[in-house]
């Protein structure tokens, strides 16, 4: 997806992230990777879904913490593990 389209999408609403209740970090093991790996992930800005190139920084058996950039701005969020895939 073009950078321009991503910037427009990002302006349509706040980046959505999983809640504490959904993450269950007090119950599930969480891994932090000192060398985050490249992934493709589905995220939502407001109600608009978009797939982005990102880095997986942390994960549990159910969710992945990712970071990615659009323009000069860095975004971070937690998404369901099924929303993340290795890049082609």
Three-class SS state of 64: strand
For the chain, which residues make up each domain, given as ranges?
3-85
- Between CA 88 and CA 70 the distance in angstroms is 20
Model pLDDT for residues 44-81, shown as the tens digit of each residue: 999 999 999 999 999 999 999 999 999 889 999 999 99
Residues 49, 70, 61, 84, CA torsion sign: positive
* Placement of tokens 């969020």 in the chain: 77
- Give me the sign of the Cα torsion angle 24, 30, 35, 39: negative
> In whole angstroms, how far apart are CA 31 and each of 13, 26, 62, 63, 64?
29, 13, 12, 11, 9
- Whole-structure pTM value: 0.90
pLDDT recorded at residue 8: 86
């Amino acid at each position: 997806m073009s950078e321009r389209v991503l910037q427009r999408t990002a302006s349509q609403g706040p980046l959505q992230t999983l809640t504490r209740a959904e993450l269950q970090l007090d119950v599930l093991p969480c891994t932090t990777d000192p060398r985050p790996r490249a992934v493709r992930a589905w995220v939502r800005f407001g109600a608009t879904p978009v797939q982005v190139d990102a880095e997986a920084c942390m994960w549990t058996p159910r969710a992945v913490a990712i970071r990615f950039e659009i323009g000069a701005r860095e975004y971070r969020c937690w998404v369901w593990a099924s929303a993340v895939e290795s890049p082609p």
